[in-house]
Amino acid sequence: MNIGGFLENLASVATKFIEGSNDGFIVADKDSSILFVNESFSKITGYSASEAVGKTPKILQSGKHDKDFYKSMWASITNEGFWSGEIWNKRKGGDIYPQRVSINMVKDPDGIPGIYYVAIFHDITESKKNEDEFRHRAHHDRLTGLPNRHLFYDRLNQAIGRASRNKSTCAALFIDLDNFKYINDSFGHDVGDLLLKEVAKRLTECAREVDTVSRIGGDEFTIILDSLVDKEESSIVAKRVLASISKELGIHKQELFITVSIGIAIYPENGKNAAELVKNADTAMYHAKEKGKNAFFYFTDALNVKARKRMELEINLRKAITERKLIAFYQPKLNILTGKIVGMEALSRWPMADGKFLSPAEYLPVAEQTGMVIDMDSLMFEKSCEFTKRLKEFLPPDSNFKVSVNLSSLNFESKGLSEQIFNIIKKYGLTMKEVELEVTETLIIRNIESTIQILNSLDSQGLKISIDDFGTGYSSLSYLTHFPFSTLKIDQSFIRDLVTDEKARTITTAIISIAKGLQVQAIAEGVENKEQLRILLEMGCNQIQGYLFSRPLPEDEMIALIKENKTYFL
């Protein structure tokens, strides 16, 4: 073999490889003077070969690295013969960009180092950009661009660390939109997404430059108030948030309004770590919800005790529903003109181990907030139909007796409601005319179009609908012409003040007139004394429900009342 020829061919191949490579090549002498660059060097840096040869690689320096960086790099080259890593360099036009570089020291044939240096590099701008985008997506909410839950906790831990070292304080604000689900369901998810983006923008404007605003999921946001001089600064930010968010949001030509509930927890008095701080801020936020929303509250130990009790209540309520331990009491409805009982309203009751009953005011809000009300309403509906079947043995054939069962708004948002109702009625051998659904005026106006559709479906099968708490929902009266209902129940807040309040009498008279005009029944609920009854008779209301006639009764007492078949004139 001709060794000389082989080496010449090998050198030729190497030269072609270097010239055709996408990587930039630099060959420099022992004084770092550039001897050779390839074409990719020029494409990447903007310097032609004639501009680079004779210069040193310092023409590429960006100024982003200090002397210690280059000192460490040359120490590695001198001691180990190579260095590899990322470096920021500058193109001829001034653009600073990242490179991945490998620098090797080439020895002479006698093994003496430092004769030549060969650097091979490539532009990693795109990969860096992709890496940064991936990192951003991993730590930021895609919709709003705010830090997500992961980054929020990282920033909160950092804020707590600084506060601990500096003997200062920081705070976590837990922010939840009020009634966001209603807007999302009524106007669509596109509008809901735009609303969330606008809220994120306003929250960012309310926070200080050193603070972190995050979206941690759904309609929940947080603000980390870093390095507080005084914990009262948190109330300033909270008030700013309440004022900003409550202003009109113009989205897709819709004039929308929304409020927020805010809970505040302060480090270190409300929590020694991020998990405690967030849990306690969340607890305070729920207290703001319970107090009417559009407000902020600080966490206290009393709230913590309350939160634990609420959690216990939620667990026990879920168990009571699953094990069917909730029972129904029934409050009779009386026609005061005929003196006959014409129906009853089913009301849930929760018996305790000591024989007493927990007030519905304590557990019904929890059932609504957790969604358990759907299963609870289903249980009450089935128990009521089962009991009505028993009552039919004692009812006169022409009694036209109805059982009324309440349905929450969440039931109207779940699928298959009509089918479920019809199946239960059929299961207990009842007819549609023997059952009545009570829905609140507030429920109806929450999502008018879909509610009308469901109510029409129920009405078409002969099921009667009663509008409960009428006069409290602020609905447009024009909607009444679209709702298929047979009864208007006058809210007890008006009945309670009939004797002393002229406005209450005026509103009650108007509701009775509306009912007569629409040829539907008006029922006054919460009638407790004969003076109220007298006024109602004068107004032309002929059905009542309330303690003047009867409190809600357990099944046995209701059966006894029906068996008497008495005529009652109060």
Q: What is the CATH number of the domain that holds 246?
A: 3.30.70.270
pLDDT over 50 at 512, yes or no = yes
Cα→Cα distances 239→200, 202, 342, Å:
16, 13, 52
Same domain, 476 and 519: yes
Boundary residue ending a domain (95, 110, 130): 130
Residue written as token pair 């050193």? 210
**CB-based contact 333:346 (threshold 8 Å):** no
**Residue 306 located in a structural domain:** no
Residue 264: closest CA among 229, 223, 302, 230: 223
Pairing type for strands 487-490 and 464-470 reads parallel
pLDDT at 5 over 60: no
264 versus 106: which is more confidently predicted?
264
Query: Residue 468 CA to chain centroid, in angstroms?
Result: 29
User: CB neighbours of 512 closer than 8 A, spacing ≥ 6?
Assistant: 490, 522, 539, 540, 541
Contact 172, 264 (CB under 8 A): yes
- Residue 502: its pLDDT value, please? 93
Q: Could you say which DSSP state residue 491 is in?
A: P
pLDDT computed for residue 320 by the predictor: 95
- 348 shares a domain with 231: no
**Which pLDDT belongs to residue 392?**
87
What's residue 268's pLDDT?
Answer: 93
Q: Which pLDDT value is given to residue 292?
A: 83
Query: Which of 84, 99, 130 is the C-terminal boundary of a domain?
Result: 130
Distance CA 375, CA 323 (A): 11
Q: Which of these three, 299, 331, 350, is where a domain ends? A: 299
How would residue 12 be classed by pLDDT, with cut points 50, 70 and 90?
A: low
> What confidence category does residue 214 fall into, taking pLDDT thresholds of 50, 70 and 90?
very high
**pLDDT score, position 6:** 39
69 inside domain: yes
159 and 283 in a single domain? The answer is yes
Residue 30 in any domain: the answer is: yes
449 and 519 in one domain? yes
By mean pLDDT, which of 47-56, 59-68, 224-233 is the weakest? 224-233
pLDDT per position as a tens digit, 152-203: 999 999 999 999 998 899 999 999 999 888 888 778 888 889 999 999 999 9
Q: Who contacts 224 (Cβ-Cβ below 8 Å, separation ≥6)?
A: 152, 155, 156, 159, 170, 171, 172, 173, 211, 212, 214
Residue 325 and residue 295 share a domain: no
Mean pLDDT of 134-163: 90
In tens, the pLDDT along 413-454 reads 667 788 889 999 999 999 998 999 998 876 666 666 777 788
Mean pLDDT score of the chain, rounded to an integer? Answer: 87
Write the CA distances from 48 to 22, 53, 315, 453, integer angstroms.
16, 9, 75, 75
**Residue 255, pLDDT above cutoff 70:** yes
Cβ pair 60, 46 in contact under 8 A: no
Are 114 and 161 in a shared domain? no
Residues 6+ apart with CB under 8 A from 440: 409, 467, 468, 469, 472, 473
Q: Is residue 307 domain-resident?
A: no
Q: What's the CATH code of the domain at 67?
A: 3.30.450.20
At 386-398, the pLDDT tens digits run 999 999 888 877 7
Per-residue CA distances from 268 to 168, 223, 276 (Å): 9, 17, 10
- Rounded Cα distance between 461 and 431, Å, is 10
Q: Are residues 558 and 425 in the same domain?
A: yes
Residue 4 — pLDDT band, cuts 50, 70, 90?
Answer: very low
Please answer whether residues 244 and 260 qualify as being in contact, where contact means their C-beta atoms are separated by less than 8 angstroms.
no
Average pLDDT over residues 275-291: 92
Based on the domain organization, do 120 and 162 belong to the same domain? Answer: no
| 27 and 144 inside one domain | no
Contact 254, 191 (CB under 8 A): yes
Instruction: Give the model's pLDDT for residue 350.
Output: 96
Q: Which residue has the higher pLDDT, 114 or 563?
A: 563
Pair of tokens at residue 311? 């959690």
371 with 290, same domain: the answer is no
Q: What is the pLDDT of residue 2?
A: 43
The CA-atom distances, in angstroms, between 484 and each of 117, 301, 349 are 89, 49, 29
Query: Is residue 3, in this structure, part of any structural domain at all?
Result: no
Q: How many domains does the chain have?
A: 3
Asked whether 433 and 375 are in contact (CB, 8 A), the reply is: no
Is 91 part of any domain?
Answer: yes
User: What are the backbone angles phi and psi of residue 284, rounded to the nearest 5°?
Assistant: -65, -35
Instruction: Tell me whether residue 344 is in a domain.
Output: yes
Q: What is the CATH number of the domain that holds 497?
A: 3.20.20.450
Rounded-to-integer distance, Cα 532 and Cα 516, Å: 20
pLDDT at position 11: 47
**Amino acid 111: pLDDT:** 56
pLDDT, residue 69, reads 92
Distance CA 153, CA 28 (A): 49
486 and 351 in a common domain: yes
Q: What does the pLDDT read at residue 3? A: 42
Supply the pLDDT for residue 109.
Answer: 60
Average pLDDT in the 289-303 region? Answer: 86
Q: Tell whether 166 is covered by a domain.
A: yes
Tokens matching residue 188? 């669509």
Provide the residue range defining the domain that includes 78: 18-130
Do 104 and 175 belong to one domain?
no
pTM reported for the whole predicted model: 0.62
Q: 59-103 pLDDT, tens per residue?
A: 999 999 999 999 999 999 888 888 999 999 999 999 999 999 999
